[in-house]
């Protein structure tokens, strides 16, 4: 409870990424309490643009801003990291050694990139031919590496779920293939895509479009395969499934690492002990913790039974804000998140296949009845490359969209 009956509730948000700032801005605008965001990073990155940077359709400088500039007005920023949460005591322990007490806690700590989960992958990424759109520096390195290639073998890999907008691993592949085709060198470049599932994505309309595009670019797809190890010295990687194993040689490796929930979430007792992935154990519809009613979660760190994405955070933030408001006024949470999520596939340097779906994988277009957004279109390119970055910096991070 607050220090005095009239004091505003102390709301602590762990993580100042997409989810943390969206909800903090929204709660402050609704005047729901005294809000503190705990975030160690000094630079905020708009991750979706990293795919465009790697694929040569955006500059690295366009993806990041100082964290201090994007904290919503009226919200306090504590530059620290959470070490553990004691939910019984309503207390957050900080890496710096201090602690912070809360009335309501929102966990928005995202996913952790587990580069070291694949033997040899960190070394391969440190070598000149290792690139990735899942890290800003590696995306910046990918841009000239893919742009200047004229022949050889390029392997792109996508990790299994859970992953932050996992299929975004494919975006730089399409952008690069379109570029090589325009230069007339695509036939001289062997492009291999390693996918974790037996289909490119998992929604029939989208899969049809992606298969058509992959075929048109002449991409060799290895379905239902995971990366097992990489050897930077021989420039080879081993992929497999069960007993089947294959070694691929590469000139360039565009890899996306496995992803995990931060370990301290499970260590604090906030995950379901039966959930091997260790996400925050919230009700996937109300976003309230199943065992600690004053704990909430959204974004990549929350177990919400859908594929995580930035687009999924918008409806989540609205639901969480409504439910928290109801609880602070003595009511019960009634707003429900339906599992909406999105992946925009940049299938060329001017078109996008827009996959929008609910938690059952059923198409759920933002514009009702416009199901054909899942066809290759120019309008969705404009949305992905031009409109959404503006909306992100100016509206989403302030809790206005
Ligand atoms: C390459 C790439 C491309 C993508 N493309 C798309 C796309 O096209 N469309 C789309 O909708 N989505 C896309 N996404 C997904 C989208 O970016 C994420 O879903 C979104 O950023 C998740 O937001 P989040 O706040 O949950 O996590 P993050 O943005 O990762 O933020 C989590 C924050 O928590 C902080 N944190 C972690 N641990 C602690 C701690 N112990 N204490 C305090 N703070 C902590 C971190 O420093 C971080 O700033 C993409 C993601 C990537 C990586």
Report how far ligand 1's centroid is from the alpha carbon of 127 (Å): 26
pTM, two decimals, is 0.96
Cα–Cα distances in angstroms (integers) from residue 212 to residues 45, 128, 218, 225, 288, in the given order? 32, 32, 10, 20, 41
pLDDT at 3 over 70: no
The tens digit of pLDDT for each residue in 228-247 reads 999 999 999 999 999 999 99
Whether pLDDT at 271 is above 60: yes
390 to 63, 73, 342, 347, 382: CA distances (angstroms): 11, 18, 18, 21, 11
Ligand 1 atom closest to the CA of 19, numbered from 1: 25
- 18 contact partners, CB below 8 Å, separation of at least 6: 47, 299, 310, 313, 392, 396, 397
290 and 309 both lie in a single domain? yes
Probe target for ligand 1 pocket from 12, 18, 25, with the most ligand atoms within 8 Å of CB:
18
Same domain for 157 and 266, yes or no, is no
pLDDT at 43: 98
d(CA 381, CA 354) in angstroms, rounded, equals 9
347 and 331 in a common domain:
no
Asked whether residue 279 falls in the same domain as residue 169, the answer is no
Per-residue pLDDT reduced to its tens digit, 122-166: 999 999 999 999 999 999 999 999 999 999 999 999 999 999 999
Task: Provide the domain limits for residue 154.
Answer: 115-258+343-392
Joined tokens for residue 7 = 């004091």
Shared domain for 326 and 359, answered yes or no, is no
> Looking at the structure, do residues 183 and 209 belong to the same domain, yes or no?
yes
Do 161 and 119 belong together in one domain? yes
Q: Report how far residue 92's alpha carbon sits from residue 102's, in angstroms, rounded to the nearest whole number.
A: 8
Q: Is the pLDDT of residue 36 over 80?
A: yes
* 246: in domain: yes
- Judge whether 168 lies within some domain: yes
Q: What is the pLDDT of residues 98-113, one digit of tens each?
A: 999 999 999 999 999 9
Asked if residue 221 belongs to a domain, the reply is yes
Q: What is the pLDDT of residue 365?
A: 81
Do 102 and 186 lie in a common domain?
no
Query: Which residue would you say has higher pLDDT here, 1 or 50?
Result: 50
Percentage of the chain lying above the pLDDT 70 cut: 97
Residue 397, in any domain of the structure: no
Q: Is the pLDDT of residue 265 over 90?
A: yes
Q: Which of 48, 77, 112 to mutate to test ligand 1, by most ligand atoms within 8 A of the CB atom?
A: 48
pLDDT at residue number 366: 78
Q: Are residues 193 and 332 in the same domain?
A: no
Instruction: Tell me the residue ranges of DSSP E strands in 179-278.
Output: 189-194, 220-222, 226-231, 236-241, 244-249, 252-254, 259-260
CA torsion angle 232 255 390 374 (round to 10): 160
Q: Name the more confident of 343 and 401.
A: 343
> What spacing in Å lies between the alpha carbon of 16 and ligand 1's midpoint?
9
Q: Is the pLDDT of residue 307 over 90?
A: yes
With respect to residue 230, please indicate whether it lies within any of the assigned structural domains.
yes
The domain that holds 95 is classified in CATH as: 3.50.50.60
54 has pLDDT over 70: yes
Residue 49 forms part of a structural domain: no
In a domain, 57, yes or no: no
The whole-number pLDDT of residue 239 equals: 98
- Under the banding of pLDDT at 50, 70 and 90, the label for residue 370 is low
Within a domain: 71? no
Q: In which band, very low, low, confident or very high, does the pLDDT at 6 lie, cut at 50, 70 and 90?
A: confident
Residues 216, 251, single domain; the answer is yes
pLDDT tens figures, 287-305: 999 999 999 999 999 999 9
Higher pLDDT, 26 or 368: 26
Q: Which residues line ligand 1 (CB under 6 A)?
A: 14-20, 38-41, 47-48, 50-51, 81-82, 108-110, 133-134, 164-165, 168, 262, 264, 299-301, 308-311, 313, 342, 344
Asked if 25 and 47 touch (Cβ cutoff 8 Å), the reply is no
Q: Is the pLDDT of residue 97 over 80?
A: yes
Residue 160, both tokens: 């299994």
User: 193 with 142, same domain?
Assistant: yes
- Name the domain count of the chain: 2
CA 354, CA 372: separation in Å to the nearest integer? 9
Q: What percent of the chain has pLDDT over 90?
A: 93
Task: Please indicate, yes or no, whether residues 125 and 222 belong to a single structural domain of this protein.
Answer: yes
Which of 301, 317, 339 corresponds to the end of one domain? 339
> How does residue 372 score in pLDDT terms, banded at 50, 70 and 90?
low
291 CA → ligand 1 middle, Å: 25
């Amino acid at each position: 409870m607050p220090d005095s009956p009239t004091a505003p509730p102390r709301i602590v948000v762990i993580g100042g990424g997409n989810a943390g700032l969206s909800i903090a801005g929204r709660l402050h605008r609704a005047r729901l309490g005294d809000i503190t965001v705990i975030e160690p990073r000094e630079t905020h990155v708009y991750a979706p643009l990293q795919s465009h940077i790697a694929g040569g359709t955006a500059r690295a400088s366009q993806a990041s801003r100082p964290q201090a500039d994007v904290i919503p007005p009226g919200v306090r920023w504590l530059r620290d990291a959470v070490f553990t949460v004691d939910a019984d005591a309503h207390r957050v322990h900080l890496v710096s050694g201090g602690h912070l007490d809360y009335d309501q806690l929102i966990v928005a700590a995202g996913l952790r990139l587990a580069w070291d989960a694949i033997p040899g992958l960190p070394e391969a990424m440190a070598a000149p031919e290792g690139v990735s759109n899942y890290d800003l520096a590696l995306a910046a390195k990918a841009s000239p590496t893919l742009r200047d290639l004229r022949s050889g073998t390029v392997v792109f890999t996508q990790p299994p779920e859970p992953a932050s907008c996992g299929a975004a691993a494919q975006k730089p592949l399409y952008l690069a293939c379109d570029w090589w085709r325009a230069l007339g060198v695509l036939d001289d470049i062997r492009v291999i895509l390693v996918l974790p599932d037996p289909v490119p994505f998992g929604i029939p309309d989208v899969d049809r479009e992606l298969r058509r595009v992959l075929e048109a670019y002449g991409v060799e797809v290895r379905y239902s395969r995971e990366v097992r190890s990489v050897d930077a010295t021989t420039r080879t990687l081993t992929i497999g499934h069960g007993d089947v194993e294959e070694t691929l040689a590469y000139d360039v490796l565009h890899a996306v690492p496995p992803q995990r929930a931060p370990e301290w979430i499970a260590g604090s007792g906030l995950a379901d002990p039966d959930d091997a992935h260790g996400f925050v154990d919230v009700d996937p519809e109300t976003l309230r913790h199943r065992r600690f009613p004053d704990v909430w979660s959204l974004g990549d760190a929350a177990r919400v039974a859908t594929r995580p994405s930035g687009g999924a955070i918008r409806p989540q933030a609205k639901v969480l804000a409504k439910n928290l408001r109801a609880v602070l006024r003595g009511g019960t949470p009634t707003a429900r998140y339906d599992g909406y999520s999105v992946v925009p596939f940049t299938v060329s340097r001017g078109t996008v296949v827009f996959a929008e779906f609910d938690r059952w994988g059923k198409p759920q277009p933002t514009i009702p009845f416009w199901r054909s957004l899942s066809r290759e279109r120019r309008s969705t390119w404009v949305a992905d490359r031009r409109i959404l970055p503006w909306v992100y910096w100016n509206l989403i991070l302030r809790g206005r969209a």
